[in-house]
Structure 1
Amino acid sequence: MSAPSPPTLRSQLGALGALLALLAATAGLAYVPLGWFNTVLALSISVAKALVVLLIFMRLRSAAPVIRLAAMAGFLWLSLLFVITLADYLTRATVPPPF
């Protein structure tokens, strides 16, 4: 079994450039009045940032299939927890204050 190759400077700078561009897109999006679509776009940009980190910095693109499977299972578990939390928040009735 060979040792994994270290990340190249080009890939690291590419990831940095992509993350900075996505950061600028997120900051610019805050000033554009799109209503509810702002949330959708902001979440899409954050998923793109997470993919850059997963594929480049965590080197999942060249990782073994078992490691990819473990990372995917963790990501799906986190997504499930977010969905359950959102479902709980959206289905609660508002309780008026007692006074």
Structure 2
Amino acid sequence: MNYLVVLVAGLILSASPGNTLECYSCSGSTERCVTDTVNCTAGQQCFLLVAEASGVKAYGAGCVRPADCNVQQTVPGASVSVSCCDTDLCNASDQVK
């Protein structure tokens, strides 16, 4: 009986967290966000934020609720877009759809 308890406990502790999405993560970087990562909570997606003003781009990346995805704002001289995706580390480029 003790052997079975130890076996089940070992399996539980070694199991993967299951269905967690891994995304690149950064805030206000002038470089693409491809070094730090974060695990999203259930129901979130990876996002890539690209802001551009006066020819300078800034990036943000991480996890977000789907309701906050696919945003595009443009004003004279500046633009911001938030794109989302739902596979591991999919938010590495401007081509996120």
TM-score by length of 2: 0.27
More helix by share: 1
TM-score by length of 1: 0.27
